Structure 1
Amino acid sequence: MKNLIALFLAGFATLAVAGETSAVQTPTVESYSYGTKLDIARVINLSTIPDVCEVVPATMTYEDSQGQRHILEYKAMGDGCSSH
């Protein structure tokens, strides 16, 4: 019984530490402006650009060369302007 309690406490402590670590590493959203220096080593996710003919907000989640995760917000032209 003591072993079971010790195992439960060890598992709970591991989850508590993992929860604190992920909370600290949550990236904040950074706004892109012309001339912003970017260090993009790996793109993780690009938001979907809507099918409209106007400028819309978009986001890119990426990792830099140090392995830090970033979320970049930028403006993009919608995909609905083609003249078919």
Structure 2
Amino acid sequence: MKLFALGFAALLATGSVFAAAPPAATDVIHDKTGFFVHLDVAKVLSSTDTYGQCGIVPAQLKYLDHQDREHVLDYQVQGIGCANDN
């Protein structure tokens, strides 16, 4: 019984270490898409390359705002790789 209690106490002690939340500085903000969305873009980190894709495809823009917070914007875009485009 003592071994069971000791094991349970050790499980609780290690579980509390892993339950701590990561620092708030690394949280990524997911922006909502829509008409007339104001984006505070200070630096673009990456964007989806849609070359060679045809039709409406999902794209993503990762950027930093002027407070150095990372944002992710998911949106739809027309690909430019259709063979029948003029």
Query: What TM-score do you get using the length of structure 2 for normalisation?
Result: 0.61
How far did 1:33 drift? 1.2
Larger helix proportion of the pair: 1
Q: Which stretches in structure 1 are left out of the alignment for 5+ residues?
A: 1-15
RMSD: 2.4
Query: What TM-score do you get using the length of structure 1 for normalisation?
Result: 0.62
Q: Which stretches in structure 2 are left out of the alignment for 5+ residues?
A: 1-17
Task: Identify the residue that residue 80 of structure 2 maps to in structure 1.
Answer: 79
**Structure possessing the higher radius of gyration over alpha carbons:** 2
| Percent identity of paired positions between Structure 1 and Structure 2 | 26
Residue 78 to residue 69, structure 1, CA distance change in 2 (3 Å): same
Moved >6 Å (runs of 4+)? none
How far did 1:81 drift? 2.8
Amino acid at match of 2:75: Y
